Chain A
Amino acid sequence: MKEMKIAKNDLVSFLDTLITEYEVFAPVKKDSSVVFQEIYSGSEALLDYSNSQKPPKEMFFPQKERLFSYDLSPKKAGIEEPLLAEKQRIIFGIRPCDARSFVLLDRVFSGGVYKDIYYIDKRKKTLVIALGCNRPKSTCFCTSLGGGPFSQEGSDLLLIDIGQEYVVQVITDKGEELIKKHKEFMEADEQSLFSMRKVVDTAEASIKFRVDVWKVKEKLDGMFDDPFWDLVSEKCLGCSACTYLCPTCHCFDVVDEVIGQRGERIRIWDSCAFPNFTLQTSGFNPRPTIKERVRQRIMHKFKYFVDNYGVAACVGCGRCIRECPVNLDIRAVLNSILER
């Protein structure tokens, strides 16, 4: 695909035009953190940020999603069908790690026998414009997981900041169609591409932490009964901060909420860190202590998901590292696994 470019000064007007046709979601500043929300004017978008607090998986897999509702009252008896997205959406300015997480979530929600219509509908109706990372954080380790600060996976367009302009890598047909409709874009010249390559090289080289996840997987194959898990899980609080903030974690529960004659079936995020996650009706719990649950989380991400889908369920975004209340650092865990 060819490369285009857009001047930084034209970006706001580009976004403003998009807002007339699409629901546009962009990073927005909120106190000391950054959130993804719908913007109503191009100037609201924040482009100078490292990453959002909550991952954008919410765009396709919301924390609370009404699957259907029913009403048994005499006047309205019936089931109300699921609400599917109406307008086309654009997610603007997300990071390549988060864009890549969509590809991993696709394997789960639309890659198998059962197709999740709620997820797929939103995916089909959304265009992803990612923003490459010129300066990855010290907690980023995307390159170890098959991604990178300028990875194209999961995006339709990728913007690369080269100073006064963005080079735009056109990745999919959907992305190309969008570019064609907007006059702010022009073909990238040699100089822009040269600057782009410099930016990319610098950024990739700046990622210090590297780990061989394939070796980790090999180790994990034989580690189920290893006493290692007792030690590594001892400080874990068993909250679900890491799972909820992880772009690839996708466990959920389905609950029915009923008030009188009306009810809703709602899908909500759930976490393998909770003790009741695996509690069976008999009362037996195959993961009774935090050790089994921490083991499960690591094994799922770096072994079971690899066994099932050929890729680790982690994009190296570093959110779990920054937000864990007790600084249980997954990088340290991976290194310890390699040392077993």
Chain B
Amino acid sequence: MNGDDLMPDISTMIRDTARKLLEEKKVDLVIGFEKGTLPLRSTPCFIRNSKEAEKLVWNASCENNLARYLRKRQEKIGIVAKGCDVRSIVELIKEKQLTREQVFIIGIPCNGMVDRKKIDLKLNGREILEAEEKDATLILKGYNFTETLDKEEFLHDSCRTCKYRNPVIYDVLIGNKVAENEGTDEYEEIRQFEAKSADERWQFFTEEFSQCIRCYACRNACPLCYCQECFVDNSQPQWIGKTTNLSDTLIFHVVRALHAAGRCVDCGACDRACPMGIDIRKLTRKVQMDVKQLFHYEAGISVDDIPPLATFNLDDPQEFIK
């Protein structure tokens, strides 16, 4: 963001918290965000020295899920985490990728992050040279233009359907809790899509995923994709080919969605990381919706929940079984 970040109170509180944690040696490392090198960007930052706490910022471009960096860590870590990030942390703790004691959660109630791709579409390719967040607007300046946009309209889709804006667990909460998005059906888009014909849906997926260049940014950005060897790299047997053959690409995305079943918290990191702008969540959210409807389970709410695919009920739905 241009100059200072949006909410000086929140940024200041984060800096103070981080500084104190490091000075008092309560943590070895703090993971947060610092100013990015482009307008409307922030970038993950790793702080080990209390003096560096000055770098930390908080604004509507802090879109990455920092829980991604909590894997295979031995240190005690303080982490700046918004609602969705915290739910990923809950899942990681459930799966024993880290212990609750290892992580000091600096929880941030979040009103949503801004989607650069939506903004690029609106600006029709004009480059943003300066960006300022002012209350509920974004003031964007470029060569021969200034545009003021309503921030709400340009939030990531995953932020608009988010029902857990306030961290479900935390060690310290920065700022006041925000109003939750109650009342809306977060899966309305999926239901509408389901109502289309199989041919229409196939058409959509083949077109959308034909853009995929198999860079695996989606997989690598996901906090819960941490397999030592991803199934795409298996060679005995080789499950899918490595080329961009659409059959292989579709199966990659379908299987990744299945592997995240009951674990995906819809943080949107995959969608945000994709350099080709593919709507990955159209697939992953269907799985999430089914897990909720069939097994009455939501990922990332409590570390005591049992993962739905690791357990069963005697009367689980089976009308589809002959």
From the candidates B125, B233, B241, name the one contacting A255 in the complex (CB within 8 A): B241
**A53–B117 touching, CB < 8 Å:** no
Indicate if the CB atoms of B243 and A266 lie closer than 8 Å: yes
Which residue on B lies nearest to A230, using beta carbons?
B46
Q: Which residues from 53 to 97 on chain B have a C-beta closer than 8 Å to any C-beta of chain A?
A: 64, 68-69
Q: How far is the CA of A274 from the CA of B243 in the complex (A)?
A: 15
Residues of A within 8 A of B215 (CB): 239-241, 244, 271
Could you name 30 residue pairs across A and B whose Cβ atoms are closer than 8 Å?
A: A31-B121, A31-B277, A54-B213, A63-B243, A64-B244, A138-B38, A231-B46, A234-B46, A235-B44, A235-B45, A235-B46, A237-B221, A238-B220, A239-B219, A239-B221, A244-B275, A255-B242, A255-B243, A257-B241, A257-B243, A268-B242, A268-B243, A271-B215, A321-B38, A325-B64, A326-B44, A327-B37, A327-B42, A329-B37, A332-B37
B120 near A241: Cβ-Cβ < 8 Å: no
Q: A257-B241, A325-B64 are in contact. Are A32 and B117 (CB under 8 A)?
A: yes
B64 contact set on A, CB distance < 8 A: 325-326
Is A139 at the interface (CB under 8 A from chain B)? Answer: yes
Identity of the chain B residue whose Cβ is nearest the Cβ of A245 in the assembled complex:
B275
List chain B residues, Cβ under 8 A from A241.
Answer: 215, 217, 273, 275
B36 contacts partner chain A, Cβ-Cβ < 8 Å: yes
The answer, yes or no, to whether B256 is at the interface (CB within 8 Å) is no
| A291 CB, nearest partner CB in chain B, Å | 13
**Which residues of chain A (294-340) have a CB below 8 Å from chain B?**
321-323, 325-329, 331-332
A116 at the interface (CB under 8 A from B): no
Cβ of A264 to closest chain B Cβ, rounded Å: 9
Give the CA-CA distance A332 to B35 in the complex, in Å: 12
Q: Name the one of B38, B43, B245 contacting A235, with C-beta atoms under 8 angstroms.
A: B43
Known: A239-B221, A327-B41. A49 touches B276 (CB 8 A): no
Query: In chain B, residues 282-317, which have Cβ atoms closer than 8 Å to a Cβ of chain A?
Result: none
* Residues of A contacting B244 in the complex (Cβ-Cβ under 8 angstroms): 63-64, 268
Asked if A172 is at the interface (CB within 8 A of a chain B CB), the reply is no
- Is B151 an interface residue when CB atoms closer than 8 A count as contact? no
Residues of A in contact with B, size category: 35 or more
A327 touches B275 (CB 8 A): no
Q: Does A17 contact B (CB under 8 A)?
A: no
In the assembled complex, which residues on chain B have CB atoms less than 8 Å from the CB atom of A234?
A: 44, 46, 69
Complex interface bits, A254-298 against B, C-beta within 8 A gives 1, otherwise 0: 010100000000101101001010000000000000000000000
Residue ranges of A at the interface with B (Cβ–Cβ < 8 Å):
31-34, 49-50, 53-54, 63-64, 135, 137-139, 231, 234-235, 237-241, 244-245, 253, 255, 257, 266, 268-269, 271, 274, 276, 321-323, 325-329, 331-332
Complex: A327 Cα to B63 Cα, angstroms: 11
A321 to B143, CA, bound (A): 20
CA distance A329 to B125 in the complex (A): 21
Contact with A244, one of B38, B69, B213, B221 (Cβ below 8 angstroms): B213
Q: How far is the CA of A269 from the CA of B217 in the complex (A)?
A: 15
Question: What is the minimal beta-carbon distance from A133 to any residue of chain B, in angstroms?
Answer: 12
B127 x A50 contact (CB < 8 A) = yes
- Does B205 sit within 8 A of A, measured CB to CB? no
Do A237 and B217 form a contact, CB below 8 Å, given A53-B276, A266-B243, A325-B273?
Answer: yes
Given A237-B221, A239-B221, A327–B38 Cβ distance below 8 Å? Answer: yes
Q: Which residue of B lies closest to A264 (CB)?
A: B243
Which residues on the B side are within 8 Å of A63 (C-beta)? 213, 243-244
Determine which residue in B37, B221, B244, B277 has the highest number of CB atoms from chain A within 10 A of its CB, and name it. Answer: B37
Q: In the complex the two chains form, what is the Cα distance from A241 to B245 in whole Å?
A: 18
Alpha-carbon separation in the docked complex, A137 to B127 (Å): 7
The closest CB in chain B to the CB of A331 belongs to: B37
What 0/1 readout, one digit per residue, does chain B (197-238) give for beta carbons within 8 Å of chain A?
000000000000000010111011100000000000100000
From B68, B143, B276, name the one whose CB has the most chain A CB atoms within 10 angstroms.
B276
In angstroms, Cα B213 to Cα A63, docked, is 8
